[in-house]
A and B are shown apart, each in its own frame.
Chain A
């Protein structure tokens, strides 16, 4: 199979295999080893997208990640937006279309796998070009653990796109030898198709490996499509190469205009001729090999336009041998052709003045404005950059001790220099971590003839500079953002003096390519406009990610059921089996309510509430935090941390307690039981378990290390089952035959160890509903067994399981606050109407001193009250604001507080709410208003306890 734009004998694509693909609706073929860009060029497709702002046709400028133009959207096999055609490996069945800067995310879920892998090494080498390979090899030979990542499908970097020799043989022979040696070393990992995109603290580099993208629809479903590598390395060598930069001239955006080095890559790596008649415009030597190799492959080089007066003799000779004319001291001032470049306008350029223009016909205009070291990652590592006036680029200056560059990334552009640099960088890196080993000598390369320095040229003056007409020719700086030289000048004209500001004003460098071809040029143009030195102006800071990374890749396997850990209790399988709906409480899944067939949530909750108040009901309370407190000073510690007195608690008894911060605000509450003289067990709210333990440890470890107390979390050791309701005693008696359940023998706020359903259990008589209630604790392994035994024993009493919603209603009817729902960190126990829980006897405890602060003694603090909507069917939304007047005033509306809890009550046969209201206690009996859907709903302020105020129900 042959096409006119494939050069015989060139390239590394497999021409024996054809891959079919579709671009912009037309079917084409390419070969394994092609990128979409190379395959398009081989099919003579040059217009691949349109500019985002002006809609001008755009072609392929580059051959790699620096491509600003050729953005595509994959339509099949799976939609994916915003990929560069130059990095997209071709596969059979690819359907893509060109994009003008804005893609479209897939509407259907992405079923591909994405994952993450951690790696650790002594040396991470980024980039497997000559410098990177030399560094990795030198390091590997010392026995160091080495990771080498490279973005291309195969290592070699620039060597894949050149015809250079190493040790007298084609450079890729050396590459193969190096790879063989590295592959045999178990301490070396070479990752191809892997782009390092972020440098983070302490030697952490994130890299994206595209593992199966290149397989298209044939990608195996069980292998992750992309993988984020989290590589923690003691030393890092960035051998990331350099990007060629263009020069700005009129209409420099036409399809058919390409970076010279990229054309060389298309020829040597892909066997693709990007045109048939080329003009080469250069400011430096590097375009000559491109011109010569393309000429040798059959491209007619119409002219080499070199801005420099002096062209090295060996290039002159080589060009003359091929009949290529060199126009030294000339520039390209502009182009003709809209869909495709048809002519380059060439003019003498002397002291900044243009001479007479002449047209040179061409279908390919190659440009080289010099090379910018790829310093993004080095810069992310807080490496500083310095302007090198000789090459017109920013090069690494000072880096942190664990980071260095090698090769072109450091401004070394010769092959021999890169190889030596790689070896040196590895040696320095290893020596920095005290590792030595056999020295590796860089391989030999042919001596280079002397070259001539780069002439730094950012833009060619426009012949139309005098012409102010908006219809005039345009000089583009950032081709993706359609930002022009005029835009830059408008920014400096508006007074902007910093490239960071110019970047934001013009959007230059903010596209997918991060300004790889436009950033330095922008600094140059701004410097010229301001009359300052580029070295003083600097360049913009680089930030991760250096290449676009999909959220799917960043999320990895943390999606679906693995998105966030789901914590479950030992009884969870039973809840699932019995149709519970679940509520997320922190990471826990808690049964919310257990609907029966056809029941709404409201009906189910009212039914569950009724069972608890009139019969018997139970719930899974295992998520409560539980902390075992042991040691001779346990009582002392608890006295200091709870507002009430715990040391006087008798063994066998239970006490409710509140903890406050030093500011006096309630932070948690729960029960404390005294297990033994030197042992307590306390409970925390579900969401606060870890925080409370950490808080207690903070005091213990940092403030009172002399206290002999140990704190141990036992949250998941125990399953906790509240058994609630007037008939709970009857049910318990059936499963706990050894227990005397009589009220006198087992009074409120006491606990007993007994056997429940044959399991050693601790039963507490505590109540979070106001009803007669027990809390049964057994080791979690027995949770389901005991739960089911209770179900069986309760069946004759209509035992009903209930969830968190019913628990909330029952406790709210009794005004038991939920810390974090009825409080928000600004609420004291007194505000909650719980002065009784604040000890007057204890000389001090955490929070006590703050209670006497003037702010905390104000009469008009917000206090917890009940609210009864005048219309007993109206359910106030939690969070609703409360105002004093029936008409809603103009903003700002003076607000008195907000609704913290709001429910429908079966016991009260109406809706009710709890609220924090300014001077709430004093307002009991008043009518206030809650703005709701544009009207003010009247509510009566009440005492927060709305049910069984006298506490007659707790003993059954």
Chain B
């Protein structure tokens, strides 16, 4: 059971959190200025990087706050957490690039 650090409540087991997908995807200023393709990009398309990835999480079983976390998708290590609306901290990959063997 991984620990995730809620910016407000500190380390809690991951079962207390819900995942909210990629962070920093702003609602388009004017959806009607976008064509279907551009709108679909906003609605359906997300990055899927190997390495650090900024994600939205919510501390559902705790303070109910949404926040952002940079998680390494290779190691699952949470490299940083920060409040919603804050800028993504500069983080370079710490992933060793090792493939999990099956």
Residues of chain A whose beta carbon lies under 8 Å from any beta carbon of chain B = 200-202, 204, 230, 500, 541, 662-663, 690, 693-694, 697-698, 701-703, 705, 844, 848-850, 852-854
Contact = CB atoms under 8 A, between A and B. Distances in A.
B101 A698 contact: no
A702 B31 CA distance: 18
27 contacts: A200-B1, A201-B1, A201-B2, A541-B101, A662-B27, A662-B42, A663-B44, A693-B64, A694-B18, A694-B64, A697-B58, A697-B64, A697-B66, A698-B20, A698-B58, A698-B66, A701-B65, A702-B66, A702-B85, A703-B27, A705-B84, A705-B85, A844-B32, A848-B31, A850-B43, A853-B36, A853-B39
B32 to A, nearest CB: 6
Nearest to B61: A690
Contacts of B11: 202
Contacts of A201: 1-3, 76
B93 interface: no
Interface string B80-95: 0000110000000000
A849 B34 contact: yes
Interface in B26-78: 26-27, 31-32, 34, 36, 39-40, 42-44, 56, 58, 60, 64-66, 76
Given A541-B101, A705-B84, A850-B39, 5 more contacts: A697-B58, A702-B56, A702-B66, A849-B31, A849-B32
List the 10 closest A-B pairs by CB distance, nearest first. Answer: A849-B31, A201-B2, A202-B3, A701-B66, A702-B84, A662-B43, A663-B43, A702-B66, A853-B36, A701-B84
A303 to B, nearest CB: 44
Interface in B12-34: 18, 20, 26-27, 31-32, 34
Contacts of B39: 849-850, 853
B60 A202 contact: no
Contact of A854 (B36, B43, B44): B36
A404 to B, nearest CB: 19
Interface of B: 1-3, 11, 18, 20, 26-27, 31-32, 34, 36, 39-40, 42-44, 56, 58, 60, 64-66, 76, 84-85, 101
Nearest to B18: A694
Chain B CB within 10 A, most for which of A202, A541, A690, A693: A202
Contacts of B44: 663
A694 B19 CA distance: 11
A662 B44 CA distance: 9
A556 to B, nearest CB: 14
A337 to B, nearest CB: 41
A200 B13 CA distance: 12
Contacts of A500: 101
Contacts of A852: 36
Contacts of B84: 701-702, 705
Contacts of B58: 694, 697-698
Given A662-B43, A703-B26, A204 B31 contact: no
B71 to A, nearest CB: 12
A201 B66 CA distance: 23
Nearest to B58: A694
Contacts of A703: 26-27
Contacts of A694: 18, 58, 60, 64
Nearest to B40: A853
A690 B60 CA distance: 9
Contacts of A844: 31-32
A705 B1 CA distance: 32
A698 B44 CA distance: 17
B79 to A, nearest CB: 14
A698 B43 CA distance: 15
Contacts of B20: 698
A861 B30 CA distance: 27
Nearest to A856: B36
Contacts of B56: 698, 702
A200 B14 CA distance: 12
A204 B34 contact: no
A687 B54 CA distance: 29
B41 to A, nearest CB: 12
Nearest to B64: A697
Contacts of B2: 200-202
B8 to A, nearest CB: 12
A204 B1 contact: yes
A705 B66 CA distance: 11
Contacts of A702: 56, 66, 84-85
Nearest to A846: B27
Contacts of B43: 662-663, 850
Nearest to A847: B43
A558 to B, nearest CB: 13
A509 to B, nearest CB: 14
Nearest to A230: B1
Chain A CB within 10 A, most for which of B3, B11, B66, B84: B66
Contacts of A200: 1-2
B90 to A, nearest CB: 21
A482 B36 CA distance: 62
A852 B32 CA distance: 10
A189 B52 CA distance: 39
A825 to B, nearest CB: 13
Contacts of A663: 43-44
A458 B34 CA distance: 68
A320 to B, nearest CB: 50
Contacts of A230: 1
Chain A CB within 10 A, most for which of B31, B42, B44, B56: B31
A915 to B, nearest CB: 27
Contacts of A854: 36
Nearest to A699: B27
Contacts of A204: 1
A230 B15 CA distance: 14
A848 B101 CA distance: 44
A792 B39 CA distance: 57
